[in-house]
């Protein structure tokens, strides 16, 4: 196929184990991975783990907002560190956020991570 477009995609994912966030920058056509540029895991500091556990146990607005702000800040700092030795431009970013409540039987999922703030941070510097 002559019309295949390769893109550099950054995936950011956190796990339910609350150990950290993983970043992976790849070259892909959306089906196959042609190159893995870089993978890096950033471990959550203890204060972030405590905030996530607190918000998970008690879904008050105050707890969710606090955990969301600190988690988002953590992701932004991790992104800046991740990009220090990356020369490739980023075409697209996939960001999962961090799930603090998952109850499929009640059709309920609550995630933290302010995607708009993250997008605003990434966009001026890494998208062309």
Residues 50, 63 contacting (CB under 8 angstroms): no
- Which pLDDT value is given to residue 128? 47
- With residue 48 as reference, give the H or E element that holds it: helix 46-57
**What are 43-94's pLDDT values in tens digits?**
999 999 999 999 999 999 999 999 999 999 999 999 999 999 998 888 888 9
Put simply, whether the predicted model's pTM sits higher than 0.85 gets the answer: yes
Interatomic CA distance for residues 77 and 59, integer angstroms: 25
Interatomic CA distance for residues 15 and 97, integer angstroms: 9
| pLDDT > 90: percent of the chain | 67
Residues 63, 53 contacting (CB under 8 angstroms): no
Which tokens is 114 given?
């302010």
Cross-strand partners of 99: 111
Q: Which of 27-31, 39-43, 85-89, 112-116 has the highest mean pLDDT?
A: 39-43
pLDDT band at 126 (very low <50, low <70, confident <90, very high): low
Question: b/e string for 9-43 if b means 16 or more Cβ within 10 A?
Answer: bbbbebeeeeebbbbbbbbbeeeeeeeeeeeeebe
Q: What is the mean pLDDT of the chain?
A: 90
Residues 70, 114 contacting (CB under 8 angstroms): no
């Amino acid at each position: 196929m002559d019309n295949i477009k390769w893109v550099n995609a950054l995936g950011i994912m956190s796990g339910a184990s609350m150990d950290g966030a993983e970043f992976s920058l790849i070259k892909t056509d959306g089906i196959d991975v042609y190159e893995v540029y870089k993978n890096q895991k950033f471990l959550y500091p203890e204060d972030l783990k405590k905030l996530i556990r607190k918000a998970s146990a008690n879904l008050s607005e105050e707890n969710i907002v606090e955990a969301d702000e600190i988690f988002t800040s953590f992701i932004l700092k991790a992104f800046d560190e991740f990009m220090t030795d990356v020369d490739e431009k980023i075409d697209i970013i996939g960001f999962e956020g961090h799930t603090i409540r998952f109850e499929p039987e009640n059709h309920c999922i609550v995630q933290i991570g302010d995607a708009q703030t993250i997008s605003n941070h990434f966009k001026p510097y890494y998208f062309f």
